[in-house]
Structure 1
Amino acid sequence: MEEEIQWIQQVLSGNKDAYARIINKYKNQLYATILRMTKNPQDAQDLVQEAFIKVYHQLDKYDGKGSFSSWIYRVAINHCMDEFRKKRYKMMQVEIHEEKVVNPNNPEVIFLKNEKNRQIERLIATLPEDERIIILLRYVNELSYIEISELVDLPLSNVRNKLHRAKKKMRDTVKCGGGYFHELSNG
């Protein structure tokens, strides 16, 4: 966190190289989050670039009270939500390719992991946008409930309720389809 504060101060003093460090630290995480929101790699790239431009122009507004990562996610997600509203964005389904697993000796394990990930992606895609974002922030980006609450500008109790409802919908969908995930069985 202190390193980020130094980078921010350097950027605000005119050092553009320091901003490159911020981008390098967060670009993959933001891209993964936005890709799961848009389901379109090109749109996700564009939105990430636009979000980083917005972050750059709003960097002086970061007050240091919360974590910088929460702040940068909030700016990026708010930018995406604004774009979705403007364009009445239609979510498109595309296959998200998993990283290649290094262990070629266990093809069954690789297949099962990939199939499970694809099914989870499909389940998440069926959720309403607000619940989908909260699920992604919690389980993909591993943010705390408090960080999510700040990011989406909802009371903590609403975040917990939306997360609970989203997991229940996903469980119900899996049970109706004859599948079962242990991860979804625990409330």
Structure 2
Amino acid sequence: MTDEQQLVEQARAGSVPAFTELVNRYKERLLRFLLTRCASYADAEDALQDTFVNAYRYLNTYDARWRFSTWLYRIAVNNATRGRQADSEPLTDVADEGGDPLAECIAQSERENLWLSARRLLNDDVYTAMWLRYVEDMSIRDVAEVVGRSSAWTKVNLMRGRQALDEELNSHSENVSKSYG
């Protein structure tokens, strides 16, 4: 039994410190994810809070055959979908500390631009699948569970999402070359 599974079992038995540890492990990653799906920072925080409230409330329904993170992200997706305002552009970052500020700023800007392009080009399920696979490093099986699709659908749409982003980046590079070349 992993440390996380032990914490889940302790939380199921009513241990508040165990559930608090689970919250601390996931709150920043979940907030970063929710910022890409919600209309504002406040909406993302609300969805995050709702996610943990629902997780605590329904902890006894968690199936240990799945990773806890998969179950938690599924709850987060549901909360973000319920609370999202379709006309607003989602936010994309939570600041990290340390390192070379200029290099980090440039790298962060490039990552944000890539994820903004992805958000604009891809439908919600494909975008969510790409985020979970490449940012959260989830397995194909776990991503499929979170988005409510098959593993085959997930693999195909991850490939299509990468192709769409590759085409977007290549067309952007060609336009820059023509402008300055």
TM-score category, normalised to shorter length: 0.7 to 0.9
Cα 1:99–1:156 shift into 2, 3 Å: same
| Aligned match of 2:142 | 147
Q: Does 1:132 align with 2:127?
A: yes
Task: Give the letter for the 1:60 counterpart.
Answer: N
Matched residue, 1:115: 109
User: What's the CA shift for 1:179?
Assistant: 6.0
Distance in 1 (alpha carbons) for counterparts of 2:78 and 2:90: 22
Distance 1:81 1:51 in 2: 12
Cα deviations by residue, 1:66-115 (Å, 9 ceiling, x for unpaired): 1111111122212222334xxx53342546365355126xx4x4454233
Q: Which amino acid aligns with 1:75?
A: I
Residues 32 and 92 of structure 2 are in contact (CA less than 8 Å); yes or no, is this contact kept in structure 1? no
CA–CA separation in structure 1 for the residues paired with 2:35 and 2:139: 21
- TM-score between both structures, scaled by the size of structure 1: 0.81
* Gap runs ≥5 in structure 2: 176-181
Residue identity in the other structure for 1:114? Q
1:13 and 2:8 matched: no
**Structure 1 pair 64/95, CA: closer, same or farther in 2 (3 Å)?**
closer
- Name the SS of the counterpart of 1:37 in structure 2: coil
- Picking from 169, 173, 177, the partner of 2:172 is 177
Q: Distance in 1 between matches of 2:94 and 2:8?
A: 34
Does residue 73 of structure 2 align to residue 92 of structure 1?
no
Q: 2:32 and 2:91 mapped to 1: Cα distance? A: 14
Q: What is the TM-score normalised by the length of structure 2?
A: 0.83
Unaligned 5+ segments in structure 1 are 181-187
How many angstroms does 1:141 deviate by? 0.4
Pair 1:156-2:151 in alignment: yes
Q: Is the 8 A contact 1:98 1:114 kept in 2?
A: no
Cα 1:167–1:57 shift into 2, 3 Å: same
Q: Counterpart in 2 of 1:77?
A: 77
CA RMSD of aligned residues (A): 2.3
Cα offset, 1:53, TM superposition: 0.5
Q: Are 1:42 and 2:42 an aligned pair? A: yes
